[in-house]
Structure 1
Amino acid sequence: MTEKMITEIKGWMQEAAVFIKTSLSTEMAVSQKSGRTDLVTNVDEETQALLIKKIKEQYPADKILAEEKGYSTIDSLAGRVWIIDPIDGTMNFVMEQENFCIMIAVFEDGIGKLGFIYDVMKDELCWGGKGIGVFLGEQKLIQPQNLGLSAGLLGMNAYMFGEDIHCAREIGHASMGVRVSGCAGIELIAMLKGNHIGYVSNLSPWDYAAGLVLLEEFNFLYSTIEGEDLSFSGREYFLAATPKAYNEIRTKFLDK
């Protein structure tokens, strides 16, 4: 089942990516959700519909948690749950036409089994699962070094850094440097490659679910920024990092 599911998901993501790339040459409908910087397009909604259709055809009994169109809440993570972000980094998609991802996670009874993060314009798929390992395309990645905060770059949410939410500036200044991509998927790929030692942001479940599966395979630590378990409900201040950097951030800056 796992190999079949992996092959299916990869195919679905490729099909979704072709649809998204094709849409870049057409006029898209852009609207606001919570405000002018929280955008959704018809392409987000149509990509999600495409992926949900594929899942329902093959796994009709499974539950789905996704960003758009009435799928954004779920009663529990019991059973098998698919967690989808059709376009992670919609602002980048609209304004830059790059630096956005498709993300899919498969959880079973609250345990992450498979995670897929696809940087569409780079054609770069980071994927893996529990006991499988982490891959970039067909290349198996090696677990990154357990570097401390001062030894690595840190991905961060721009608003958190600008407004110094939860000591974000102090944490950032203690690192080798802050990087802001505006896309959780890209930040998570950077961690899995060993390019960044951590990520601090304000995320919804579909922003982090696929990444959690892969981070666990490499023994990264993650939680809410307050150190609590992630709830998979609504937005949460999110922290993930190498064990050394995570513990430094928690003890030096957040547990004062």
Structure 2
Amino acid sequence: MGSSGAHLEVWLLTAIEAALAGGAVLRTHWPMSRQVQEKGFRDWVTSADLAAQEAILAVIRRHSPEHRILAEEEGRSVAEVEQGIVWVVDPLDGTTNFARRFPCFSVSVGLLVDGEPVVGAIYDPLKDMLFTAARGRGAFLNGKPIRASETERLEQALIGLDWGHRNETREQILGWLSRLAVRCQTVRSIGSAALGMAYVAAGWLDLYFHFALQPWDVAAAAVIVREAGGALYQPDGAPWSFQSSAAVVSNGRLERAVWAAMGR
């Protein structure tokens, strides 16, 4: 099955239904007490992650039983995104925020065809904000078109970032901050990579960077950013791909100033 326009429409509707289903679970769990387990260093999972994932996968399997699924809490190989049609799911992007009751988290549902993002839905259930895109058809927030910002100068730029779990990653982030923070308007840490990238697509952030990404963090966001006029790069300026765990997400206009500031 190819990625024709008709297929994209059906897949996008599935992604939206799945993201909304996962968001409904998270909204139900939000006021409840937290059951938190440690997956790794600075890496948590909650009962809400697992319940939301179950709801999301049920929707996908009902509509697309023939497709493979890569989901964060399933522990399957990241290499599976390279070929064929693969749904890539993060049921709760921003688990630390959710666990600490910091109200910034999302559901991310993306679809890849041979490793290329073609459909994406990112849902913030507390704010009821649904970011969507299908390749070649534009990006939307709650059904209304969105575009990345036109900011070209660093001193006017609002920059978002997230930290990653490992100290080595944080040191790399600090290296970027030491050069960018003194030149830009200001900096925000988001706590949900999917939302950080969606905010670039919406024009609310001009740049976002994260150096410890997994495919489920960015599968939906990549197509939304690109359809909004933005672009994704590796930290060295090369085009971003799923082989890279680091991404610099730009409005499509700010790159020259960023690379100059970083001495590229």
What's the TM-score, normalizing by structure 2?
0.86
Match of 2:4 in 1: none
Matched residue of 2:247: which SS?
A: strand
> Is 2:204 aligned against 1:195?
yes
Match of 2:3 in 1: none
Q: 1:214 aligns with which of 217, 224, 238?
A: 224
Equivalenced residues, count? 253
Per-residue CA deviation, residues 118-154 of structure 1 (Å, 9 max, x unaligned), is 1110000011111111111021224431523222100
Query: Which runs of 5 or more residues in structure 2 are unaligned?
Result: 1-6
Q: For 2:253 and 2:147, locate their aligned partners in 1 and report how far apart those are by CA, in whole Å.
A: 18
Q: For 2:63 and 2:20, locate their aligned partners in 1 and report how far apart those are by CA, in whole Å.
A: 17
- With over 3 angstroms needed to count, the CA separation of the structure-2 counterparts of 1:245 and 1:105, relative to structure 1, is same
Q: Which moved more, 1:78-87 or 1:245-254?
A: 245-254
Q: For 1:176 and 1:28, locate their aligned partners in 2 and report how far apart those are by CA, in whole Å.
A: 36
Match of 1:144 in 2: 149
Q: 1:6 aligns with which of 1, 12, 31?
A: 12
- With over 3 angstroms needed to count, the CA separation of the structure-2 counterparts of 1:236 and 1:168, relative to structure 1, is farther
Q: 2:34 aligns with which of 28, 46, 49?
A: 28
Match of 2:69 in 1: 64
Q: 2:50 aligns with which of 34, 45, 48?
A: 45
Match of 2:248 in 1: 239
Deviation at 1:14, TM superposition (A): 2.0
Q: For 1:66 and 1:254, locate their aligned partners in 2 and report how far apart those are by CA, in whole Å.
A: 37
Letter in 2 for 1:31: Q
- With over 3 angstroms needed to count, the CA separation of the structure-2 counterparts of 1:239 and 1:142, relative to structure 1, is closer
Deviation at 1:239, TM superposition (A): 0.8
Per-residue CA deviation, residues 20-60 of structure 1 (Å, 9 max, x unaligned), is 1112243332111222x311112112211222232223222
Q: For 1:67 and 1:117, locate their aligned partners in 2 and report how far apart those are by CA, in whole Å.
A: 15
Q: For 2:53 and 2:172, locate their aligned partners in 1 and report how far apart those are by CA, in whole Å.
A: 32
Q: For 1:231 and 1:220, locate their aligned partners in 2 and report how far apart those are by CA, in whole Å.
A: 15
Deviation at 1:204, TM superposition (A): 1.6
Match of 1:172 in 2: 181
Query: Which runs of 5 or more residues in structure 1 are unaligned?
Result: none
Q: 2:257 aligns with which of 248, 251, 256?
A: 248
- With over 3 angstroms needed to count, the CA separation of the structure-2 counterparts of 1:167 and 1:14, relative to structure 1, is closer
Matched residue of 1:240: which SS?
A: strand
Higher relative contact order (CA 8 A, sep 6+): 2
Q: Which moved more, 1:147-156 or 1:49-58?
A: 49-58
- With over 3 angstroms needed to count, the CA separation of the structure-2 counterparts of 1:86 and 1:57, relative to structure 1, is same
Match of 2:192 in 1: 183
What's the TM-score, normalizing by structure 1?
0.88
- Report 1:152-167 matches (<5 A): 152-158=157-163, 165-167=174-176
Answer yes or no: is the 8 Å Cα contact 2:95–2:105 preserved in 1: yes
Deviation at 1:157, TM superposition (A): 2.2
Matched residue of 2:253: which SS?
A: helix
Q: Which moved more, 1:195-204 or 1:6-15?
A: 6-15
The CA RMSD measured in Å over matched residues stands at: 2.3
Q: For 2:81 and 2:97, locate their aligned partners in 1 and report how far apart those are by CA, in whole Å.
A: 31
